[in-house]
Structures are given as C-alpha cells and as structure tokens.
Amino acid sequence: MASDKRARRAVVTGASSGIGAEYAAALARRGWDLVLVARRADRLDALAGRLREECGAGVEPLVADLARSPDLARVAERVTADDVALLVNNAGINGYGPFTEVDPALLAKVLDVNVVAPTVLTRAALPGMLARGRGAVVNVASLLAFAGSLPPGPLPHRAVYGGTKGYMVTFTRTLAAELADSPVRVQVVCPGLTATEFHLGTGEAPVGGEARVHEDGGMPPADVVAASLAGLESGEALCVPGLSDPGPLTGLAEAELALRNGSGAVLADRYRAADARAGEPE
C-alpha cells in the first residue's frame, strides 16, 4: 500500500510514545506520510521533526484529547480526507484499579478513549476507503481482552479496561468478516505486556517528561508493530505478536462456533434439571 502515490497517508492515534510512536516510525521508513494524534504537543512536535529529518516523511501533528467530543470530531474530519489510506487506532488509557474504587469519571474516560473514539474514527474513515478501493484500519487491543476471570496479581485490576479491549477484538473481527469481499483490510492486534510507559499512569493525565519504560519490561514496541504490519500484509484479522503457534486462533473460532450452537429454541438439559429441582419441596 505504501507504494500507492495516490493515497499513502496514515493517521496514528496515541502517537506520542510507545506503540503509537513505533507505528509512526515504521510507517515513515516505509514511505508513508503521517498524521500523528496525541495529547502531548511537545512530544508530537519532537517526533514529527525526527521523522521528517530521518525519513523525509510529511508529518502533520494533530494535538487532540480523544475523550473530548470537539477534539474527536476534528480528528474524525481529518480521517475522511482522500489522502488517508491507513488508520491506526492506538490511543488508549487503562483506568486500572478495583472497580468499586476507581473514579467513575475516569471509567467514563476509558470508555470514551478505548471504545467510542476508535469506533467513531473507523466509521469516519471506511466509506472513503471503500469508495477509493484501498485502505486499512488497525485497532490496537490487548491480550487482557482474553484474561477473563484470571485474578489480579500479577495482572492488574482491569474490569473496564479488559472489557474495552474485548469490545475492540469483537468489533474488529466482526467488521473484518463484514468487509471480507472488499479491498479494505481490518486488523486487531493484541500485544501482551509491552515495554512502554503505559503502566506508569491510569490515563487521568498524560505521563509527563521524557518517554520512559515501566519496570516490568515486556516485548519491545517495535516488535509489536513489526508483527502487526506483517500480519496486515498477509490478511491476518487477529494478530497476537508473541504467539508462535497460531493454533489457538483456530481453536478460538471453533469454540465460538460451539457457543453459538446454544442459540436454539430448546432449553439446555442442565438448566431444565436445575429448574425442576428448584420447584421441589424441601
């Protein structure tokens, strides 16, 4: 796609650090021009200057807080432009903490940034991509989407964050199936622990200062991006960068099919028996 001179601009949200900055750098090296979206103007300007100098990329910094409706509307307007051929929905905040203790306003912000924003931006981008016959959307989720009932420690308290990433997985995979016969590709990438600054805050405010890495380490963000872009080229709708054996992806589809077999009109025997016992006198 990067060789298509008619439209080769990528919009990357959450581009000021971590995985987003790595997407920006990798795409710039591949010949893409960029629109970089984040809250931190200083970091955006520094990254834009570096990519212009090192890669000759055309870079537009777009300072925006995707939890704010006016800012989201500005970014949505930009992604409708004819030059946008790739949208990377990477921005995200975690809002970690025990569900009953986290500020409800922060939880609402997690939903706005992790669910509302990528949904709105994808909806804004796709009609033009489909009309032009080319384009792609990459949504960055997390393996915490599959963490389910695993207890905190070492995993974080994550009920809302995990829920938002579960939404991104289901949304993207379902959309990819809907667009399977179109020229537009859709992918969700699910990294595990990644060596970024993501865990240094909850998302109430941007992490200040120079870019840092949390103490727990994890996969280098450049490797996450390399896996995502390779998977996008091969048509992979669900990318798990650290998964060597793709068998569990097939198993996931098979398990989903088995679960959907529960959509029949007849109550399962295990519930019928329990219902009958509940009606017996003690």
Give catalytic residues, as residue numbers: 161
Q: How far is it, in rounded angstroms, from Cα 280 to Cα 274?
A: 10
Strand, coil or helix: 245: coil
What are phi and psi for residue 63, nearest 5 degrees? -75, 125
* Cβ atoms of 122 and 137 closer than 8 Å: yes
What are phi and psi for residue 34, nearest 5 degrees? -135, 150
Q: Give, in order, the Cα–Cα distances in Å from 162 to each of 91, 115, 145, 155.
A: 15, 11, 5, 11
Q: How far is it, in rounded angstroms, from Cα 34 to Cα 260?
A: 41
Taking the alpha carbons at both ends of the chain, their separation in whole angstroms is: 70
